[in-house]
Structure 1
C-alpha cells in the first residue's frame, strides 16, 4: 500500500470517503453492507477514513464509530464540522454555521457519534462567510489545544482563505472536489497547499460516477440523488459530456486499467501531496479503486488525458448557483 502524508500522519495514498454509505446518492446501502465496505477497506490497508457531521445528519459518523471504533489505533480519522443538520418544523435541513460556539458543539457531538476521544483531522466543512475565517479557525485551534482534535483542515476554500487561516493555526489539509472534469484547484489552491506543506484531499475523484462509466441515463436519478440538481447532470449537458467517454475508455484500455482506476491514477501522478478519497458502497469497487495505486501512466498519455477532459471540454458548471454561493473555491474566468 503506497503512503502519503497529512501533518504527522502517514496514510494510504487512497483513502475512503464514507459519505456514500449514508448520504447524497439515493437510498443508502444496508447497515450490513456498509459494515462490509468499511471493514474491507481496513483489511486492504486503507488508513484514512473521511466522514462529516452533515452526512446523513449524523448517521455516517454513527456508522463509522460503531464499526471502526474498536480499530481506532489502526487508521487516521477525519471528520468535518461547521455544516450540519438542524431540525426545523418542516424537517432536517443543512445549515452552515462557523461561529466558534457552533464549531465546539459540532465537535463534541461528532466525538460522541464516532465513539472516540479525539479526531485526528477535523475540517471546517464550509467557510461561513458571515464569520471571519480567523474566528472559526481560532475555535478549531482551541480544540487542538485541549486535545479533542489533532490537526485541522478546510474544505472548499480559496488560496487566499487558506493563507489567512494558516496564519492563525497550521492547516494540515484542504479538501476540495478535484478530478479530470473539475480542475478548479489548479487555479491556485493546489499550489498554495504545496507551498504551505498542507495535503490536498480530493473528493469526488471519479467525477461522481461519470469517470467510472457508471451512469448512462440521468433520467434514472432518484430525487435524493444530489446529482439531479447539478448542472453537469442535466439531460442536455450530460448528453454532451457522454461524448467524452468513448475516447476516455480507450485511453483506460491503453493504460491497462479500468476507467475508475485511470481517474485515480491521474490524480496520484499529479503531485505527491494529493490524496484521493473515492467513495463506494461496493467491496468490489473498493478493491478496484485501490488497485489504481499500481497503475503507471506515461507523460504522453497524461497529456492526452488533460486535453480530452478538462474545464474546457466539460459542459456545465459543477454546482448550481445556490451551492456555488456556499463555497469559496476559485472559478475559471475570475481573477484571483
Structure 2
C-alpha cells in the first residue's frame, strides 16, 4: 500500500494524516536540525522551509540549540500565520557555542522553563504547540554531572505547569525508556521521540504502548545512527535491493518502512537540500507489498545504547 497524498479538499498531505495531540498533521514533517548548514545563506534557508510547506509539510520539529537559535529564526521568518504549521520544539539541552560541544545538558526544571522561553522568543510565538523534553536515560546518552540527573516527576511538574500557564500547548517525551513512559502517562504526553529505525528496533514495546495510547511515535535517527561505527539503514543489502526494484533511493525505502510499520508513526527527516526534501516527501507514494515488508522485517536490528 501507499499513503494518500491529498486530503478530501485537495490539500497536500504527505504520508496521509495522523494525530499529534489535538492537532491533525501530515505524517511526514520536516526536522530543522540541518538548517544550520545554510547559516551562510539565510535566503536559501528560508526558501527551503517555504518549499517544505509547498510540498504539504504542516509539522516542523526544531530546538533552540539547533545552530544556537538559527533554525528557530529561519522558521519564524519563513512561516506565516495562515500556513497553519504545528511547530514542535525540544528542550533538555541549551546552546553552548563556546564549549567543547555546541550544546550542554540542561535538565533541571528551571532550565526547562528558560529553554521554552528562549524558544518562544526566537520562534516569535506566544505558545509552542508541542514541546518535548529530551531525557538522558534512553539509548542516546552523554555524560552528565550529578546536578543534571533530575527525577522524572520534577520534569513532569514543570511541563504540566507550563501547559497550564499557556506557554506550551502540549508536551511529549524524547529519549525515554518504557518504564519512564509508563510513569509519565498520567501527565498526558502526546508523543514520543526516540532513536528508532529499521535497524534499531529495541523500542518495539514502547512503540506498541504509544499505539495503544493513541500517541504519536516520532523516530529520530530514522535511517540509523549518525555515529559512524553504527549500522545505517541504507547500507543494508535488502534495502538496496528493494530500492533498485522500485526505482527509488535506499533512504526512501527506510522512511517508507517506518510509515508502513506503525500507523501512528510520524517522520521528521531533516535536510539542507531541496532535492532531498522532495525525495523525502515522495516517500508517501512508495507502495511496499507484503512480501517486501516481510523481507525488510526479517533484517536483524542492532540493539544497545549510543553513548
Which whole-Å deviations, capped at 9, do the CAs of 1:170-218 have from their partners, x for residues lacking one? 00000012211221221x211121222211011222236xxxxxxxxxx
* Contact 1:232–1:318 (CA under 8 A) maintained in structure 2: no
Alpha-carbon separation, structure 2, partners of 1:115 and 1:296: 39
Of residues 112, 131, 151 in structure 2, which corresponds to 1:132? 151
SS at structure 1 position matched to 2:200: coil
Stretch moving more, 6-15 or 194-203: 194-203
Matched, 1:53 2:64: yes
Which whole-Å deviations, capped at 9, do the CAs of 1:211-242 have from their partners, x for residues lacking one? xxxxxxxxxxxxxxxx4x54327xxxx8xx98
SS at structure 2 position matched to 1:22: helix
The match for 2:87 is 77
* Contact 1:231–1:318 (CA under 8 A) maintained in structure 2: no
Matched, 1:292 2:303: no
SS at structure 2 position matched to 1:179: coil
TM-score (norm 1): 0.77
SS at structure 2 position matched to 1:19: helix
The match for 2:245 is 254
The match for 2:229 is 231
Taking a change above 3 Å as real, the CA distance of residues 245 and 280 of structure 1, as seen in their structure-2 partners, is same
The match for 1:276 is 267
User: Any stretches of 5+ residues in structure 2 without a counterpart?
Assistant: 1-12, 138-147
Stretch moving more, 56-65 or 291-300: 56-65
SS at structure 2 position matched to 1:176: strand
User: Any stretches of 5+ residues in structure 1 without a counterpart?
Assistant: 209-226, 325-336
The match for 2:201 is 183
Deviation at 1:283, TM superposition (A): 1.1
SS at structure 2 position matched to 1:184: coil
SS at structure 2 position matched to 1:232: coil
Deviation at 1:254, TM superposition (A): 2.0
Higher helix fraction: Structure 1 or Structure 2? 1
Deviation at 1:120, TM superposition (A): 0.6
Alpha-carbon separation, structure 2, partners of 1:132 and 1:61: 29
Matched, 1:174 2:188: no
RMSD: 2.4
Deviation at 1:100, TM superposition (A): 1.7
Deviation at 1:96, TM superposition (A): 1.9
The match for 2:41 is 30
Alpha-carbon separation, structure 2, partners of 1:269 and 1:13: 11
SS at structure 1 position matched to 2:63: coil
Alpha-carbon separation, structure 1, partners of 2:253 and 2:228: 24
The match for 1:18 is 32
Alpha-carbon separation, structure 2, partners of 1:202 and 1:92: 23
Taking a change above 3 Å as real, the CA distance of residues 108 and 161 of structure 1, as seen in their structure-2 partners, is same
Matched, 1:266 2:271: no
Number of residue equivalences: 283
The match for 1:106 is 115
* Contact 2:175–2:195 (CA under 8 A) maintained in structure 1: yes
Taking a change above 3 Å as real, the CA distance of residues 72 and 165 of structure 1, as seen in their structure-2 partners, is farther
Which whole-Å deviations, capped at 9, do the CAs of 1:88-115 have from their partners, x for residues lacking one? 6x56652222222111111111100001
The match for 1:203 is 220
SS at structure 1 position matched to 2:69: helix
Taking a change above 3 Å as real, the CA distance of residues 201 and 247 of structure 1, as seen in their structure-2 partners, is closer
